[in-house]
């Protein structure tokens, strides 16, 4: 049975959904332990253990430092002999996975939407060509480092209660020093953790109409996204960009409003379970990947849609 180390994410004592996913995936593959590094890391240990972690390693650090995180995790892999390291394909996972692989003299396979063991080797399935195709890859290097796409993997429950061990995270030894950290405030769910995402494209015509996207998202309890064209035009914050040069999401439901479906955008949302597209152009590429489509002007569709949803959801 393979020895798996799952990397979780926690900040201010709040465990992120990605921690449950990496631990659950690790449990499916073999014997899994989880490492949590961040502020209030100890608070998430018991929750992670519920998803199958035999041991939870806890490292307290006040602020994020990728160099320190990677060093602590790589040292743990070497000391305990872990064969596979699984990280979320989040901004933290993307930052530290390559650092960990470098310290372990191995490589990384990123953005896996499916993962299994083939003998003693990890086999993954991931999108390529901006989501137009999928490939299956087998990791030959050892240890094997893999990032998994958020929301693309089931979360399992376990009756176990893993042991907790403290590890040292030495931010003082890192060459890079954090100068400033600005947290984005807001009550909406994180894009990468959202079960529902509502995104707006160039069809909204201007920044004055972006609140229509936000209002629909608030009714559904969804995350808010946008295409690169909308972000580049300054109609919304760049942190909302979904696509090849933005965030990758994999929600249960993706609502594309006024989005034509450029390949760069679909690379960031193509693995969504259900896609609903609203566009007045019947030939828009987004309809080729959508589960349901509404061919009409979004300004005709959104007002009655919002009222129907509010009535159905009791809002």
CATH code, domain carrying 156: 3.40.50.620
Residue 2: per-residue pLDDT: 87
One domain, residues 70 and 208: no
Q: Is 245 assigned to a binding site?
A: yes
The length of the chain, given as a count of residues:
315
Residues 125 and 207 in one domain: no
262 annotated to bind ligand: yes
Tally the domains of the chain. 2
Is 178 assigned to a binding site? no
261 labeled part of a ligand binding site = yes
What is the per-residue pLDDT for 216?
97
Residue 155 annotated as lining a ligand binding site: no
* Distance (Å) of CA 152 to CA 31, 90, 179: 21, 13, 34
Residue 262 and residue 117 share a domain: no
Q: Give CA–CA dist 202/200, Å, rounded.
A: 7
Q: Residue 183 domain-assigned?
A: no
- Domain final position from 111, 139, 173: 173
Domain span including residue 196: 191-313
Query: Under 8 Å CB-to-CB from 294, ≥6 apart: which residues?
Result: 276, 277, 278, 279, 301
Whether 227 has a binding-site annotation, put simply, is: yes
137 and 240 assigned to the same domain: no
Q: Is 168 annotated as a binding residue?
A: no
Judge residue 313's burial from the number of C-beta atoms within 10 Å of its C-beta, 0-12 exposed, 13-18 middle, 19 or more buried: exposed
Rounded Cα distance between 38 and 49, Å, is: 17
The contacts of residue 79 (CB under 8 Å, 6+ apart) are none
Are 15 and 72 part of one and the same domain? yes
Give the helix ranges, DSSP H, for the chain: 17-29, 45-49, 66-80, 91-103, 210-220, 228-232, 263-266, 286-289, 298-313
Strand partners for 127: 134
Residue 199, marked binder: no
- Element housing 145 (H / E): strand 144-148
State pTM to two decimals: 0.82
93 marked as binding residue = no
CATH of the domain at 305: 3.40.50.1220
Per-residue pLDDT of the chain (315 residues; tens, 9 = 90+): 789 999 999 877 888 888 889 999 999 999 999 999 998 888 888 888 888 889 999 999 988 899 999 999 999 999 999 999 999 998 899 999 999 999 999 999 999 999 998 888 889 999 888 777 889 998 888 899 999 998 888 887 766 667 899 999 988 878 887 787 776 666 678 888 899 999 999 999 999 999 999 999 999 999 999 999 999 999 999 999 999 888 889 899 999 999 999 999 998 998 899 999 999 999 999 999 999 999 999 999 999 999 999 999 998
Does 122 map to a domain?
A: yes
Per the annotation, does 221 bind a ligand? no
Q: Is residue 267 part of a domain?
A: yes
């Amino acid at each position: 049975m393979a020895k798996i180390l799952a990397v979780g994410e926690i900040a201010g004592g709040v465990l992120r959904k990605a921690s449950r996913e990496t631990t659950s995936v690790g449990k499916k593959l073999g014997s899994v332990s989880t490492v949590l590094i961040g502020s209030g890391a100890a608070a998430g240990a018991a929750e992670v253990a519920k998803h199958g972690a035999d041991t939870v390693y806890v490292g307290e650090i006040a602020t994020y430092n990728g160099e320190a995180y990677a060093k602590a995790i790589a040292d743990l892999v070497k000391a305990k002999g872990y064969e596979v390291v699984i990280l979320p394909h989040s901004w933290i996972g993307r930052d530290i996975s390559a650092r960990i692989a470098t310290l372990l003299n191995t490589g990384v396979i990123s953005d896996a939407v499916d993962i299994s063991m083939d003998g003693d080797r990890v086999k993954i399935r991931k999108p390529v060509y901006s989501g137009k195709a999928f490939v299956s890859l087998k990791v030959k290097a050892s240890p094997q480092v893999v990032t998994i796409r958020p929301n693309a993997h089931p979360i399992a429950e376990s009756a176990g209660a893993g042991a907790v061990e403290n590890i040292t995270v030495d931010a003082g030894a890192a060459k890079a020093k954090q100068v400033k950290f600005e947290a984005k405030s807001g009550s909406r769910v994180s894009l990468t953790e959202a079960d529902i995402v509502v995104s707006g494209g160039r069809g909204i015509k201007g920044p004055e109409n972006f609140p229509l996207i936000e209002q629909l998202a608030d009714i559904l309890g969804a995350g808010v996204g946008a295409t690169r064209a909308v972000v580049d035009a300054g109609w919304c914050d760049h942190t909302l960009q979904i696509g090849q040069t933005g965030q990758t999401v994999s929600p249960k439901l993706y609502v594309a409003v006024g989005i034509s479906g450029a390949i760069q955008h679909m690379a960031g949302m193509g693995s969504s379970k259900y896609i609903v597209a609203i566009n007045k152009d019947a030939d828009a590429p987004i309809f080729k990947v959508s589960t349901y489509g509404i061919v009409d002007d979004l300004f005709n569709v959104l007002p009655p849609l919002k009222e129907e949803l509010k009535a159905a959801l009791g809002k």
